[in-house]
Structures are given as structure tokens and as C-alpha cells.
Amino acid sequence: MDEGQRFQDVNRLLVRTGPLANNGNYGSIFPEHVPFEPSADILPFLRTAAQILVVGAGGLGCELLKDLALLGFGQIEVIDMDTIDVSNLNRQFLFRSKDVGRSKSQVAAEFVMRRVQGVKVTAHFCKIQDMDASFYRKFQIIVLGLDSIEARRWINSMVCSLVTYEAGPDGALTPDLSSVIPMIDGGTEGLKGHARVIFPRVSACFECTLDLFPPQVAVPLCTIAETPRNAAHCVLYAHLIQRDRDFPDSPRPDNDDPEYQQWVYLKAAERAAAFGISGVTLTQTQGVMKNIIPAIASTNAIISAMCAAEAFKIVTNCSAYLNNNAMYMGGEGLYTPTFCYERNPTCVACSTARVELAVSPGETLHALIERMVDDARLRFKAPSIRAEGGLRGDTLYMRGPLEAATRANLELPMRELVRDGASLIVTDPALPVNTTVIVRFSS
């Protein structure tokens, strides 16, 4: 099929205007919104100039790459650190059994380029953290097909950090809109999903609404198979791996079957004992078994279509876009509400306001670090901390080679390390940029 033929229907959306064209009356968050102007130049722009990044080449990523290529995006890059597992093949339809063990992003890129003539897909087989600001800055738009909160958080912080500010007529700082890279976040869980449009530092970002997401409980299968760390991992091992190994020819029993639950409980308890893990009980086993949510191909297809349509609308401006979140609930009937997330004025990632933390002067640095890790807003993983004007030097605690030299500070009360109002500069693997936290001594 030649290109003109393949994209003639897409092109109809771009060379004509209509009642749904983006006139800026709704759906636009930009003050200087330019209404849609139909033009024959838009499709060539989409084919050759617009750079789009797809983050993740798994269940959602495969769908996204296919949808975006067929919508006319001609310059696509995709980043994913995973290799193809045989269990992916039921829904990650760009992969075949001969591809097992190869890079997801590379195989997906090759498949899409073979199938949609003229599209260029550049694959990056690495972690998102391996790429720096200069890589992310070159894209017009970024679409996320991720399954982890941690990765979403990191990339959200990265795109927020790319936004520069300029002084408005009244001297107030406003984001320079040319530095704002729109980001579309898709997510699925069983028969539920969401599509969300984020204009970093302009509309609510992922971090603004982080408290909606409970700390993650999903575990990679390899952890379950090789190195269980808690009671749930042992239950999942018995339920997902050992059962099929011990009874390869019998059909899988119902999760609610009490006899089967008892069997899983006993096997999980054996495994827990072998690894010195406590906490496996029958009730806990039943709870873990009920919480397994299967990945469903049709949910991925629906959410991906929503995300790809938003990317197309934003890049071409042909239609008002989602403001700013749509849910999809397909478990019982169909329910797809949309609503607008509000920005959090003290967001760690997108606000210019500094984060303040109430600290008791007698609280040790160690206790403060633990609190930062548990804090629902900060959720640091392994913070290193400097202080401007520290009473015993600026370095309070460093991971890595300096750890031993700063370890003694952990047991000191905060009043011996900093003054009230001091700025703590926190470096943490959860986020690509430093976070400044202001200490407020409370009595």
C-alpha cells in the first residue's frame, strides 16, 4: 500500500475543519491558543518532522507503536530495558516465539518498520534512567506505556525539569511554553485503565497526584522464582510456579477452592521456612491469591487507542484534547468518566514552591531519612543529603564511597547539623533531579 493511500483517511482530519476542530474554547490550557488551521502540510510534518517517544514496548507499548505508526507518525523512538519472555506472547503481538530472549524495543521497532512502509522506529534497549535531558528534550511529545509507578515518577520528574521559566509582564515567572513537552500516560490493570494528558508545570503532573497510587505491590516473576523477600512472594511461587510444575497435566483449580488454597498455603509455608521468611498464614495466602490481576489484551488496545488519539490531536492541533484524565472501567458493563486533575501547589516535581518538612530538633538524621522514605509525598528510595550552611559541614549523609565518612552523622540530632530554615538538597535514585527540602524546627 502506498503512503498516500494508507494515510488518506488520516489526512481528511487535517485538510478540513469541522465542528470538533480545536477552536481553543475548551480543552486548551494554553492562554495564547491558536485555533486549528487545516493544511496539506500537517501530514508531511507528522511523517518527517514530529519526533515522538514511546516509553515501554510491552503490552501497551506494542499497541502504541502500531497505533502511532498507522496514524501517520513517521519518526518514532521507543525505549525499553526488557527482553521478550514466552509469557508475553499472548498479548504483545509484535513478538513471535523465535524472538524470545531478544530486546522488546528492537523487535517491536523492526516489526513496525516492516509492516508500515516509510515509518522509522529507533529502538533503545536500556533503562529510561540511562538517558539524559538532552535525549528527552528532542521530542515533541512523549507517550508512556509503563506498568510501574517508579518509572512514571522518574520520567515525569525529568520532563518537568526540562521546562524553563520566563518573567511575565508583571515580573511573575511563567513556564516558557516552547519548553513544555506534553506527556501522555496510559495504564492498564485487568479490565481497568486510564489515559491521561500532562503538560509539565502547566497542568497536573504525575507527582501532583502521587497519593492516589498506593505504594506498589506487584512483583516481577523472577523475584518470586529466585529470591523471595517476603511472605507474599512465597505464596505467589506456590500458586503460579510450583502448582504447574507439580501437576503439569491437570487443569488449574479455581482460586476460591478451599482445598487448593490449603495446598498453596502449605507449599508457601515450606518455601518461607527454607528462606527464613515469616508471616505465611492461610488468611494471608487467600488474600494474596485474590489480588492477582491478569493483563488483558483488549484493555491495552483500548487505552492505547485513547493515548494515540491524544498524541495525534496535540501534535496536529486538529481537535480539542483530553482535559486531562479518562478512566476506563470494563469489568461490569462499561464506564468511562473523564475528569480534570488539579495541580498540587506544593508538588515536588512541578511546583516552584519549596517543600517544607516539620522536624523536631532532637530527631536524628537517621530518623529523618527514614521519614523521608516513608513520606507519602516524597517517597525517596535511598536519599543522600547535603545542607547549605551545615553546622558540621555541608555533607550530611552520602551513599557510595563517602558513606563511611558521613555515617556518624546519622545518630546526631538535627539541631547539631543544621539551623532552622536550612535547605536540604536531596539526591535520590527515585528522581532524576535534586529535591530541595526546607527544615522547619517544631518544638
Active-site residues, by number, are: 222
d(CA 178, CA 127) in angstroms, rounded, equals: 27
207 is a contact residue toward Zn ion (CB under 5 A): yes
The dihedral sign for the CA sequence 157, 72, 340, 333: negative
Query: What DSSP letter does each residue of 297-329 carry, written as one string?
Result: HHHHHHHHHHHHHHHHHHHH--S----SEEEEE
Least distance (Å) from Zn ion to the CB of residue 341?
A: 9
Return the residues of window 322-381 that contact Zn ion according to CB under 5 A: 347, 349-350
Least distance (Å) from Zn ion to the CB of residue 33?
A: 22
d(CA 300, CA 289) in angstroms, rounded, equals: 23
Q: Which stretch binds Zn ion (CB under 5 A): 172-180, 205-213, 245-253, 388-396?
A: 205-213
CB-wise, 255 or 346, nearer to Zn ion? 346
CB-wise, 99 or 207, nearer to Zn ion? 207
197 is a contact residue toward Zn ion (CB under 5 A): no
Contact predicate 191/331, CB 8 Å: yes
Beta bridge partners of 359: 441
205 is a contact residue toward Zn ion (CB under 5 A): yes
208 is a contact residue toward Zn ion (CB under 5 A): yes
C-alpha cell, 274: 527454607
What mask of x and - would describe binding to Zn ion in positions 19 to 48, judged by CB under 5 A? ------------------------------
For residue 71, give the 3-state DSSP assignment: coil
What is each CA distance from 289 to 231, 282, 307, 367, in whole angstroms?
Answer: 12, 11, 31, 35
Q: Which stretch binds Zn ion (CB under 5 A): 22-30, 67-75, 168-176, 202-210?
A: 202-210
d(CA 220, CA 233) in angstroms, rounded, equals: 10
CB-wise, 208 or 232, nearer to Zn ion? 208
Least distance (Å) from Zn ion to the CB of residue 350?
A: 3
Q: Which stretch binds Zn ion (CB under 5 A): 23-31, 201-209, 294-302, 304-312?
A: 201-209
CB-wise, 144 or 269, nearer to Zn ion? 144
CB-wise, 129 or 346, nearer to Zn ion? 346
Q: Which stretch binds Zn ion (CB under 5 A): 9-17, 25-33, 62-70, 206-214?
A: 206-214
Least distance (Å) from Zn ion to the CB of residue 258?
A: 46
> Based on the number of CB atoms within 10 Å of its own CB, is 45 exposed (0-12), middle (13-18) or buried (19 or more)?
middle
CB-wise, 123 or 350, nearer to Zn ion? 350
Amino acid making up residue 340: C
Beta bridge partners of 283: none
Q: Which residues would be at the binding site for Zn ion (CB under 5 A)?
A: 205, 207-208, 347, 349-350
